[in-house]
Structure 1
């Protein structure tokens, strides 16, 4: 059965996007990363938050714009939203509730990962107790403000287990298993 994996690139001070969801900061840090290259073929479906789906793209203005993992991955995407667009998007299903979105994404992923993209949807999955793993690629930059990897003031402590720690030319990666609260 598919596992839910939240993956993100993050600044050293804990932000996955700059103010207003700005992703331009990431463009200069996207480069060779063997851990990401190994992860991508293990992804069977994406579970994406609406803001992430319609938000800024680190590949803006480049041929890879609008493509998951810069075009290295393609497949079914499930976008959690209460306001689906009227125009259909190929390989994208808009879903109105978390349980339905997760079930559909897991069915589509088969034995591979459902990759969660977006801080708010990752937080919802964590709170629901359904997030299995977290992969973070730390970029050598301090953003100072923006969207945090996880933001839940007053939230409870979540225990994690390190599965791996690797480095790439412009990143340090940590892969964690969610043990629970």
Structure 2
């Protein structure tokens, strides 16, 4: 049975995108990373938030633009949105609610991970109790403002258990299991 994984690159000060969803900061931090390569091989489907799907792309202006993991991964994508477009997008299924999106993505992923892209979608999965793991790549930069890794107005306490820690020249990654 598939598991739900939120994987993301974050600045040291906790932002996954700059102000207005800007992802240009990430471009200089992309590069060979054995942990990313391993995770890509474990992904069976993507569950993507609408803002992430339609948002800024660190690969803008290259042949990798618009491709998950810069073209390093292909497969079924499920985009969570309240506004399903009239024109189909090849390889993308638009879903109107979290439950049907999670069910469809898990069915498509088989025994591999459903990788979540988008902070709000990850928060919704966490609140619904369906998020199993979080993998954070910490880039050596501070942005000072933008989209936080996790935002819960009023605060909350999410217990995590570290299961892996890796280092490469341009990032450190920490993998957690969601405990409760």
Shorter-normalised TM range: over 0.9
* Residue correspondence of structure 1 range 9-48 to structure 2 within 5 A: 9-48=9-48
Deviations 1:40-85 (A, max 9, x none): 0100000000000000000001111111011010000000000011
Deviations 1:125-148 (A, max 9, x none): 001111000000000000000000
3-state SS of the aligned residue for 1:74? coil
Cα RMSD over matched residues? 0.5
Deviations 1:156-179 (A, max 9, x none): 201100010001110000000000
Deviations 1:10-32 (A, max 9, x none): 00000000000000000000011
Write the distance in 2 (CA, Å) between the matches of 1:26 and 1:88: 29
Task: Name the residue aligned to 2:59.
Answer: 59
The ranges of structure 1 where at least 4 consecutive aligned residues each deviate by more than 2 angstroms after the TM superposition are none
Write the distance in 1 (CA, Å) between the matches of 2:23 and 2:158: 27
Deviations 1:59-117 (A, max 9, x none): 00111111101101000000000001111001100000000000000000000000000
The TM-score with structure 1 as length reference comes to: 0.98
Q: CA deviation at 1:155?
A: 3.2
The TM-score with structure 2 as length reference comes to: 0.99
3-state SS of the aligned residue for 1:141? coil
**Number of matched residues?**
180
Verify the 8 A CA contact 1:32 1:169 in the aligned structure 2. no
Unaligned runs of 5+ in 1: none
